[in-house]
Structure 1
Amino acid sequence: MTTVLLGCLAVFGTGAAAVAGALLIQRTVPARMRYDFGMYGALTTALVVSTFLLSAVAMGLFVWGAVNRASSGVVQEADALLDLYWYAQTIEGPQAVRLRSDLRDYTTHVIRVEWPTMDETGALNPRSWQLARQLRHDILTISPENSGAAIRYQDALRSVNTVFQVRRSREALTTTRIPPLMWVALLSTGALVVVLPMLRGDPRPAVRVVLAVVGAATVAFVVFLLYEVNVPFTGNVKVTPAPLEEALRSFADIDAFPGNRP
């Protein structure tokens, strides 16, 4: 199912359940009790709504931070790989050919294999770690011949270290989830946000049904949205490897420069 269809089912299904609940309360809760809730329950309702909004905002900030770190990490990794590929143009011989080949293999494997693996299993692909270690080995076996080459070599070392730092960060983010306590707070206050207006609403059934549908649909939409963006690399709304794909295309452009062909 698509995200839109799942969202519609969640919102309308919750709304239908709220309608049934509102009609049930209309029939079972005495009118005098509903009147008392309407007279004296305003402060409680305001506190519940405020707590629900606070929980939703806190979860949204948590998710935004994780997604932002994940997106920034992909860009940093793509930039580091491009820097390494440019560095490979400054050296000669079999080492240059091997480094360019390993960079293409690593980037291709991350895009085509590791990204689907993260979506399916929530973990990085072991083969990508092997290819990353091969990149580090390629760099460590290079011996700069002069001061200019040594400066470029230090930049290459920093770039390959960036690749490993970003991979470790991505590995941590694949298991990042909104804490269960936050979900408990959101769901419990969300349920009260839906139920309290049913008790405090206008005694006419039509008004009570409208209040129930609006409250339930709003809560369901917020919960569904947070659930869909809960993990940066998993689900229908996730971080894509677009910067890495652009870097892979740039490799061919770099090779096409005069004098840069292997």
Structure 2
Amino acid sequence: MIETFAVVLGVALVAAGVVVARHRYWPPAPEAEPREDVAEYISMMVGVLYALVLGLAMVSVWETRSGAESHVQAEASAAHQILLLSAGLPAPEARRTRGAVDAYVHHVVSAEWPAMRDGSVPGQEGWALLDAVRASGGVPADATPVQQATLQETLAQLGVLDDARRGREADVGSGLSPVLWFGLIVGGMLTVAFMFMFGVKRSVTHVVMVMGLTALITFTVLLVYQLNQPFNGLFAVDSTPFTRYFPYA
């Protein structure tokens, strides 16, 4: 990140040096008219580039939130399927499986979710409880074909649950790149600043345009900030998929 900022600053300083040298050693003629079209072109390009950065940031945070929601739904659904499949296992294994699934879901809802809202990645206790679910579903050697088929389907759902949990943990640690945050903040400031410099006379219309643009940029950046935290904020992914299947969790 520091290297990126250094490159950006270095390029900007080089461009500034070229402009200073141009005006010092090859100044425009006194009778030359100011080139307002150049100023308008620069301000237009700043706005277009900022729109690209803003769109990239919005797509990135929205995909992160959508992925987090999909992982949570898949994890809750897989846990519920394992609970239902336990009815086809022998009685001792069925009791152990139901108890292990209930313990896992209760831990996810009551312990992991508050930690994720604070930005903390879930610890190893959840994986230990998931291992307990995996170990509880064995069947004896004399199991019926139906019980063996049930065990195979249970193992398949355990694989889905395992992948979904890994995805949920990755979602907690994911976020918008600091480089994009730099582009959002600095680009927004430049876009508003150029409206003060070029293109519109200072009047009531100018004030209204600047206020509207500033409010829109601020709203969009705040929206990106809220979506950047998939398990916290106004648009947080909550534990509803788990509590819908396990209301007692």
TM-score (norm 2): 0.79
**C-alpha spacing 1:201/1:170, structure 2 compared with 1 (3 Å):** same
Q: Which runs of 5+ in 2 are unaligned?
A: 1-32
Distance in 2 of aligned mates of 1:96 and 1:37: 81
Per-residue deviation, 1:61:
1.1
Counterpart of 2:235 (choices 218, 234, 237) is: 237
Q: State the number of aligned residues.
A: 216
Counterpart residue number, 1:48: 46
SS in 1 for 2:173: coil
The one-letter code sitting in structure 1 at the alignment partner of 2:216 is T
- Provide the residue aligned with 2:118 in structure 1: 120
User: In the alignment, is the contact (CA less than 8 A) between 1:77 and 1:163 conserved in 2?
Assistant: yes
Equivalent residue in structure 1 for 2:211, among 200, 210, 213: 213
Question: C-alpha separation between the residues in 1 aligned to 2:74 and 2:55?
Answer: 28
Which stretches in structure 1 are left out of the alignment for 5+ residues?
A: 1-34, 253-262
Distance 1:143 1:157, change over 3 A: farther
Three-state SS of the structure 2 residue aligned to 1:60 is helix
Residue number among 179, 189, 192 corresponding to 1:191 in the alignment: 189
Does residue 117 of structure 2 align to residue 109 of structure 1?
no
Residue 51 of structure 1: CA displacement?
0.9
Deviation (angstroms), 1:111: 1.3
Report the counterpart of residue 155 of structure 1 in structure 2: 153
Question: Does 2:139 match 1:142?
Answer: yes
In structure 1, C-alpha distance between the alignment counterparts of 2:193 and 2:117, rounded to whole Å = 36
The reply to whether residue 165 of structure 1 matches residue 155 of structure 2 is no
1:82 pairs with 2:90? no
Q: Percent identity?
A: 25
Question: Of 70, 73, 98, which aligns to 1:72?
Answer: 70
- 1:57-86 per-position Cα deviation (integer Å, ceiling 9, x unaligned): 111111121111111111111111111111
Is the contact made by 2:89 and 2:150 (CA closer than 8 Å) also made in structure 1? no
Query: Which deviations, in whole Å up to 9, do the C-alpha atoms of 1:116-149 show, x marking residues without a partner?
Result: 111124211433222111111112x333613222
Relative to structure 1, the CA distance from residue 63 to residue 204 in structure 2 (aligned partners, 3 Å threshold; closer, same or farther) is closer
Give the structure, 1 or 2, with the largest relative contact order (CA under 8 Å, sep 6 or more). 1
Query: Structure 1 residues 192, 157: closer, same or farther in 2, change over 3 A?
Result: same
Q: Any idea what the Cα deviations from partners look like across 1:32-54, whole Å, max 9, x if unmatched?
A: xxx95855422112211111111
Deviation string, structure 1 residues 151-189 (Cα, Å, up to 9, x no partner): 221110011121111111111111101111111222222
Secondary structure (helix, strand or coil) at the match of 1:232 reads coil
Looking at structure 1, the residues matched to 127 and 119 of structure 2 have their Cα atoms a distance apart, in angstroms, of: 16
Shift of 1:235: 2.9
Q: Distance in 2 between matches of 1:245 and 1:237?
A: 18
